[in-house]
Amino acid sequence: MKYKPQNPAPDNADELRKIAPTVCYPIDTLPKPDMALYSKARKSMTLIDEVIIPPRDGRCFHVPAGHFFRVVSVEGPQVGDMNLWNAHDLNEKFYSGKTRALHGTHISTGDRMWSSFPAMRPMATVTYDTLDWYGWDEYGASVHDVIGTRCDPYTNDVLNGTDYHYCCHSNLTRALAAFQNQSLNGAEPLVHDVLNVFMCTGFMPNTKQYFMKSSPVQLGDYIEFFAEIDLIGGLSACPGGDCSSTHSSDTAACYPLKVEIYKPAPETLGGWQPPALNGYSGSHGKE
């Protein structure tokens, strides 16, 4: 619970609170994805690989640029924490904060997952979402958030004083280390804030604390992405299951997730090119 105010409100407090907000990053000039091109390419795509993410565990997978991939609910209601890296430079990774600043707290069809500085470019575009019907509920919640950081053993230690080794942070660390054949200590700094796939979240109206509620995901639901660059993806099947009551738990009902990777017919992507690195000169202003 937040501290109660220690200072009296000024006489013009109501006027100050009524000042209209301004969007920090208007996106009218943001390069728009060619959704018609993606729609055409989707009609010809062929499944080339599948990866099963076991409950309370994580796996990594490779998606070539110009391919599609899906995260699919295959057995029961389950949310997942997803990381993305440039397959050729793991220091270029998904930037959830900037994605949130550009597209809002939750993403769906037509939104893009942006990469970290200095590259800052689209890594993947959401091309289909079977849960787009959910919108916003009466609690202000929606699906597929870029708010939460990922459940992790460090916060669990602070809050509960116990070790738990199947948090999504730990699962992603082990998955990346195994995929890259590197040490856990080498992989852990590369794990980053996530896209919470299928997770239904918002902010409490009084304290603005991050909340979760039962995910609406059902058997066969999926969210689909187009890989704008060569990607390594990491996905953890959250130990909270559908996150209706808890995470970092061995008691919640958990299910596997599946990643499907699709190759479209090359002729359907005529004119598409991977996005260039960010155009900022890198001078950082005058020295």
- pLDDT above 70 coverage of the chain, percent: 98
Q: Is 258 helix (H, G, I), strand (E, B) or coil?
A: strand
| pLDDT tens digits, 56-97 | 999 999 999 999 999 999 999 999 999 999 999 999 999 999
| 184 φ, ψ (degrees, to nearest 5) | -65, -40
Closest CA to 128 of 105, 103, 142, 111: 111
Residues in the chain: 287
What pLDDT was estimated at residue 285? 61
* CA–CA separation, 204 and 186 (whole Å): 37
Asked whether the beta carbons of 60 and 136 are under 8 A apart, the reply is no
Mean pLDDT, rounded, for 170-192: 98
Tokens of 114: 């942006």
**Is 281's pLDDT higher than 90?**
no
**Is 163's pLDDT higher than 60?**
yes
Annotate 194-212 with b (16+ C-beta within 10 A) or e (fewer).
Answer: bbbbbbbbbeeeeeeeebb
* CA–CA separation, 161 and 183 (whole Å): 26
Asked whether the beta carbons of 103 and 216 are under 8 A apart, the reply is no
* CA–CA separation, 150 and 82 (whole Å): 9
What pLDDT was estimated at residue 283? 72
Burial (CB count within 10 angstroms: exposed 0-12, middle 13-18, buried 19+), residue 56: buried
Closest CA to 30 of 133, 144, 110: 110
Mean pLDDT, rounded, for 142-171: 95
Q: Is 89 helix (H, G, I), strand (E, B) or coil?
A: strand
CA angle (257, 262, 268) in 5-degree steps: 150
Sign of CA dihedral 182, 179, 224, 40: positive
* CA–CA separation, 277 and 287 (whole Å): 23
* CA–CA separation, 100 and 76 (whole Å): 28
| pLDDT tens digits, 3-37 | 888 999 999 999 999 999 999 999 999 999 999 99
Closest CA to 42 of 219, 222, 220, 199: 222
| pLDDT tens digits, 241-264 | 999 988 878 899 999 999 999 999
> So where are the chain's domains?
32-266
The 10 Å Cβ neighbour count of residue 118 is 12
